[in-house]
Structure 1
Amino acid sequence: MPRATTVECPGCPPLRALTFDTLGLIKVIESREIQGGPKVVDRWGQPDSTKSVNAVSLIHRQSNPLLAVARKDGQIEVLSPVTGVSLATISNANDLDLQSQENNVIGLHLFAKQNLELESRAYNLLTCTGKGSASIRSIEVPDSATGSSSIDSSKTWNVCNSGNVLCCKVDKNEKFALFGGKGVEVNIWDLDNCTKIWNAKSPPKNSLDIFTPTWFTSVSYLSKDDHRKFVAGTNNHQVRLYDISAQRRPVLSIDFRETPIKVLAEDIDGNTIYLGNGSGDMASVDIRTGKMLGCFTGKCSGSIRSIVRHPELPVVASCGLDGYLRLWDTKTRQLLSSVFLKQHILHVLFDSNFIVEDTPKGADSLPIKEETIKEITDGEEIEATPLKRKKSSRNKENVIDGSKKKRAKESEEHKKSKGNDEHEKTASRDKGSKSTSKKKNKSSKYEIPDEGL
């Protein structure tokens, strides 16, 4: 029988997260109390295995945020991350071979910068398939949820000649894109000109003259402001650091456990990365020195597929095939809270604009504390409450004297009673002696001597 241990979770701060699973469902998780655990407050969509979510992209902003979701059936849906209303649907049935799962959309990025050339609400969308077909198109999102949109495919190119693309990442400035996969070395493309600016070189053979085949599973930029440094995870349980300004081969290589690296995520400090593998192990690494800072306590029972760092709070979220969404503390690496979502979770995103509603004006959040403070400050208006006082020294002396007199009186009574008892005993002894002498005299009067007989 497997052993099960319970872990006490201190709770997580107020936050909002969106999860995406293999059945195409989008679940909204909110945590509104500091000590309370997160809960599922809403669910969007209907369960359908053909609509499994392959890639997601979110525009973080207070006004008109957008969420793009690439599904297994080849459709890309643009919806509101606040209400879940579908705003536009893009079908790539003409461009993709739906019979092949290797040619599904694996890379998706919705540009935050709006297309100013068009008067309507038009946004640029980057997509990349497993065969390496990348495209940037303009999507016109209507104001109302009509379910249709106009598409203007502007740029299309191929990022690889052979192999399968498994990971894609766009930098913060949205000018460069990073691609890698099985049989595809990591390479960087200029999105404005659609040209390749850098391509990695395979590591040399090892001491046994064995060449390790190329197999990248995840990529991430190390710093949001610098596109020259990035990290990549491989199927051979390695994490590699690249610097395109230094060389084409990895600057640093780290081995982590014995299972493939499935996901990488960068921290906001630009020096720490979070990694998860296929056996459920999760750790943080200082990429400057290559030393592991520590593992996250709380073993996950399935492969980790997504790790996201909160942009403001010291919280990192992870999810995977065990169906749990876990929230961790970035400093202590302790488990804050977890939610069981029943399906295999593939992606998770944080809503950075989530704000907890304040308490109403008429309600007092802490009435007891306010009353106590008022009692302390307003001393003139409050009547003094009766208190238990200690007895004075006079009372103590009177009590002591009374107790002494009582003890003396008891001792005198005890002596008198003792004397009376002794007198009675002596009297009884004298009386007893007299009675015995009388008996002796009486017996001698009637006694007959032997000689007179």
Structure 2
Amino acid sequence: MSSQRFYTGDEQGLIKVITITEPQVVKVKRVKRNQPTPEAPPKPIPTIITWGSPDREKAIQLLCWDHGKKYLAVARKNGLVQLVDPLNNGSSVYEFKLPLEKQDKVDTIFVGLFANTEHIITCTNTGVLTVQSIHNVSQQRTFSIGKDICRMRVHPKEHHVVATAGKEQELTLWDLNELSNDSSENSTPASKEKKTKQINGSSISSGKGSKKDAPSETRYKSKETLANGQLFKAKNVKNDHLDLRVPIWNTDFQFLSPINISRIAVGTRYHQIRVYDTKSGARRPVVDVEIGSMPVVAMANGPNANEIVFSDTEANVYSVNTVNGEILGQFKGFTGVATALATFVPFGGESDVSHLVSVAMDRCLRVHDLSKTRKLLHKVYLKQRMTAVVVGEFTPAEPSEEEEDNYNRSTKKSKDIKGEEGDEDDEDIWESMGKLKEKKTVKKRKNIQ
């Protein structure tokens, strides 16, 4: 029997390990009339293991794997950031605490979490980006990247590239190697230097030219320069049909490719899906569509770079084409808002069949098929309201004795069939040779007579 494992975090501060075991499929023969129908195949068997004790002050806000998928990184409501060992019942192997204080009567929460073998990177909604060393506790760097940040993500391959977006905060790419402690989105233009950044072969200019080359400010608008450490900063879309400025409120985004940084999909509170391409040199989105009428809550990558999955506040989960903005389909079965999404290949290999796992406010974990059917495969009730989910390891099923016997019999039959066919071919050859000899001997006898 094969099994798939998932790890979830909830508002009670608990980590739950859900293992869904797929029973072996038994082939049922056709039944004749007036005979009892065969039993239905057994349903998948979910098992749930809980780590920790309920404590709302330790509510889990974010959960992710480290880069080597050895430890789980956990960010909690009280500012505690941990690395837990899944092989040792979720025991903490490393932790540090950040002060999360209210600002303007607004709670400070984590909006970004990333971990590799050297650092843990966190970000709060107040714009405090922290890079904490794992090997040296005293080594910590803190940056200010603006207020009202809704999401921070680190590129899965280029770990020094960090992206942020939020309320009145356009999508921005930062380079941690060039980001200084005094960097801020509100830095003065005098402190901004002329430089050119390279992202996947595309140059992004970030400074003004000389006074001779620069156009007159009275006739042309001056180009906005990038702050210290910025690689790319998106530009707001054009004014609406009433010539009014379009408000900015980006809620989540995803890098569309784990290899390059050029294409990024963004979801907004105003039910918009936008795709930015930094390689094209354009700062405005290359795709901008409105889907539904509710804010985007969470996003996840699809089976390829041309598909993105997102949820909204009306318990809808859609799959969208990132090339033309077309809706590819909708996932059914949700009775609550999906708070976290993740996609995975169930067999852990290079299979084209992918699945979507989600946790929702109705306290259920669901697994959908990402094919055209988008069928609901599994549903597990988890009692608490889930806030995060990550995909664990997959254990393939071992062949049973009956399957091995059937395989051996089939291989033996194929060998026997090949052997019989070979013998028949040999007999045909000998028979044809015999007939030729008989014809020759008959001709000779006739001539003698």
- Please report the TM-score for the alignment, with normalisation by the length of structure 1: 0.69
Decide whether aligned partners of structure 1 residues 50 and 372 sit closer, same or farther in structure 2, where only a CA change above 3 A counts. Answer: same
- Correspondence for 1:92 among 98, 103, 106: 98
Q: 1:375/1:156 Cα in 2 relative to 1: closer, same or farther (>3 Å)?
A: closer
| Separation in structure 1 between the aligned mates of residue 410 and residue 119 of structure 2, nearest angstrom | 58
1:290 corresponds to 2:325:
yes
For the residue of structure 1 that corresponds to 2:137, the secondary structure is strand
Aligned-partner Cα distance in 2 for 1:167–1:292: 24
Q: Deviations over 1:144-186 (max 9, x none)?
A: xxxxxx51334221111xx311111111221311101112111
Of 364, 369, 372, the residue aligned with 2:401 is: 364
Find the counterpart in structure 1 of residue 115 from structure 2. 110
In terms of mean alpha carbon deviation, does 183-192 or 232-241 score higher?
183-192
Q: SS of 1:82's equivalent?
A: helix
Q: Corresponding residue for 1:152?
A: 138
2:53 pairs with one of 39, 46, 50: 46
2:260 pairs with 1:226? yes
CA distance 1:98–1:365, shift in 2 (3 Å)? farther
What's the CA shift for 1:41?
2.9
Deviations 1:33-88 (A, max 9, x none): 256425233111111111111112202647xx011100001111110133312112
Q: Which residue of 2 aligns with 1:443?
A: none
Give the one of 121, 137, 148 matched to 1:126: 121
The aligned counterpart of 2:359 is 319
* Structure of higher RCO (CA pairs closer than 8 Å, 6+ residues apart): 2
Point out where structure 1 has 5 or more consecutive residues left out of the alignment.
1-11, 115-122, 141-149, 380-453
1:249 is aligned with what amino acid?
A: R
Aligned partners of 1:139 and 1:152 also within 8 Å: no
Q: 1:205 to 1:366 in 2, by over 3 A?
A: same
Aligned counterpart, 2:155: 171
Name the residue aligned to 2:295: 260
2:82 aligns with one of 77, 81, 94: 77
Runs of 4+ more than 6 Å apart: 370-377
| Matches of 2:389 and 2:126, distance apart in 1 | 25
Alpha-carbon displacement from aligned partner over 1:119-162 (angstroms, at most 9, x marks no partner): xxxx211111111010212013xxxxxxxxx51334221111xx
Q: For residue 139 of structure 2, give the secondary structure of its aligned residue in structure 1.
A: strand
Query: AA paired with 2:254?
Result: S
Match of 1:192 in 2: 177
Q: Which amino acid aligns with 2:401?
A: D
Identity over aligned pairs, percent: 27
Question: 1:164 and 1:153 mapped to 2: Cα distance?
Answer: 26
Q: Secondary structure, in 3 states, of the residue corresponding to 1:339?
A: strand
For the residue of structure 1 that corresponds to 2:57, the secondary structure is helix
- CA distance in 1 between partners of 2:160 and 2:321 (Å): 27
Two-structure CA RMSD over aligned residues (Å): 2.7
Q: Quick one: distance in 2 between partners of 1:376 and 1:248?
A: 65
CA shift in 2, pair 1:321/1:244, >3 Å: same
- When the two structures are aligned, how many residues end up with a matched partner? 338
1:182–1:370 Cα change, 3 Å: closer
Deviation at 1:208, TM superposition (A): 2.1
Q: 1:348 aligns with which of 384, 389, 401?
A: 389
Q: Is the counterpart of residue 328 in structure 1 residue 368 in structure 2?
A: yes
Name the aligned partner's letter for residue 97 of structure 1.
E
Say if 2:12 is the partner of 1:23.
yes
With the length of structure 2 as denominator, give the TM-score of the two structures.
0.69
- Indicate if the aligned counterparts of 1:235 and 1:259 stay in contact, CA closer than 8 A: yes
Give the Cα–Cα distance (whole angstroms) in 2 for the partners of residues 368 and 305 of structure 1. Answer: 47
Q: Secondary structure at the match of 1:203?
A: coil
* Distance in 1 between residues matched to 2:285 and 2:410, nearest whole Å: 63
Q: How does 1:401-416 map onto structure 2 within 5 Å?
A: none
- CA gap of 1:48–1:199, structure 2 versus 1, over 3 A, is same
Match of 1:407 in 2: none
Q: Give the Cα–Cα distance (whole angstroms) in 1 for the partners of residues 153 and 162 of structure 2.
A: 6
Instruction: Assess, with a 3 A threshold, how the Cα gap between structure 1 residues 40 and 60 changes in structure 2: closer, same or farther.
Output: farther
> Do the aligned partners of residues 274 and 13 (structure 1) sit closer, same or farther apart at CA in structure 2, a change above 3 Å counting?
farther
> Which deviates the most, 275-284 or 304-313?
304-313
Distance 1:366 1:134, change over 3 A: same
- In the TM superposition, residue 334 of structure 1 has moved relative to its aligned partner by 0.9
Partner of 1:410: none
**Number of the residue aligned with 2:426:** none
By how many angstroms is 1:373 displaced? 7.7
